[in-house]
Amino acid sequence: MMNANEALALILKGLEPTMKELQLRAKAQGEGTAELVSAEGALLRLRLAEDRAALELRKEDGSFQRLSLSLLELDAAAERDCQYIASDFAEALEKQFQVRRAPAAGSAKKPPKSVSKTAIKNGEAYYDALSFVNSFTGIYQELRGAFKENYETYGEFLPEEFFLRQGGNDAVLATIQRNDETQMKRLFGLLNDVYENGVNDVQSLITVTILGVLHNDEQLLANCVDYMSRDLAPVVIRVNKLLASPAGKKSREKLARPPLYKPKKAKKPGLMQQMMSGGQGLAR
């Protein structure tokens, strides 16, 4: 357990490289609150309140515009949670100040920039696979290397490869099995948000590839129900029942042993589209 000032200090420590680059100075402003002042006079506020950590920009009229918001329950928070928030806030600051970095000579190909969280929250964009997994690896930072390797290997990001072969699903399953309240809130806070604000392929990724492989296990599903949104829960339950039925045998085999990557050909309706349409065609 830590208090608000301790958590704030850890977040600011994680932000030090970014603040130095952007010439920002931190000034404490009371319990769990600090101001970040730029050389140009722009003022930002970092505030911890009501189990949330918020990064806000003061506008000309004196009101504050939220740049980033993360869950932070102080009674269960650890240093790693503060590091995750610092990483998220650093990304928001870089976007706000329009930081551009030239790639190093001979550097490996990196995934393109993900969709802005601000644009998603404002309804101007939707989560795609890159945006989702970028946030996912913010929670499971040990998988950032696998995310990068995936893109470097194929020249594009293959989400099914990441979750089924590179440990994404293993991390999710371990969280669901532990059923720790803080970890579950963080995971399903992301899954619920992405399902609500994601493109169809990403919705399918969540309901079939990730949560569809709980093998219709009553205990695992029960662990999830209290954390899933009203929109997500019935779809996940339906998909698990379909995959556990005789009609879902071939689909189960594909998920258990996904085919190796092949160059793209003309697209046809696949497993994800079948599952999202209620399982039609699974028995063929």
- The pLDDT, as a whole number, for residue 42 is 63
Q: Which comes out higher in pLDDT, residue 88 or 7?
A: 7
Specify whether the CB–CB gap between 164 and 206 falls below 8 A: no
Q: What is the pLDDT of residues 135-190, one digit of tens each?
A: 899 899 899 889 988 888 877 888 988 998 899 999 999 999 999 999 999 999 99
- The pLDDT, as a whole number, for residue 282 is 46
Run of H or E residues at 52 = strand 52-58
CA angle 76, 80, 83 (to 5 degrees): 120
Helix/strand/coil (H, E, C) string of 150-208? HHHHHCCCCHHHHHHCCCHHHHHHHHHHHCCHHHHHHHHHHHHHHHHHECHHHHHHHHH
| Model confidence, pTM | 0.55
Specify whether the CB–CB gap between 274 and 283 falls below 8 A: no
Q: Is the dihedral of CA 69, 202, 133, 104 positive or negative?
A: negative
CA angle 214, 252, 133 (to 5 degrees): 60
- The pLDDT, as a whole number, for residue 116 is 64
Q: Tokens 């929250």 map to which residue? A: 121
Mean per-residue pLDDT for 114-143?
Answer: 80
- The pLDDT, as a whole number, for residue 190 is 93
Share of the chain above pLDDT 70, in %: 77
Q: Report the DSSP beta bridge partners of residue 69.
A: 54
- The pLDDT, as a whole number, for residue 175 is 96
User: How far apart (Å, rounded) are the C-alpha atoms in residues 75 and 73?
Assistant: 6
Q: Report the DSSP beta bridge partners of residue 64.
A: 58
Look at 79-93, 96-110, 150-164, 247-261 and tell me which has the smallest mean pLDDT.
96-110
User: How far apart (Å, rounded) are the C-alpha atoms in residues 142 and 138?
Assistant: 9
Q: What is the pLDDT of residues 211-245, one digit of tens each?
A: 988 888 999 999 999 999 999 999 999 999 888 88
- The pLDDT, as a whole number, for residue 185 is 94
Q: What is the pLDDT of residues 23-46, one digit of tens each?
A: 888 888 888 899 988 776 668 899
Share of the chain above pLDDT 90, in %: 28
- The pLDDT, as a whole number, for residue 217 is 92
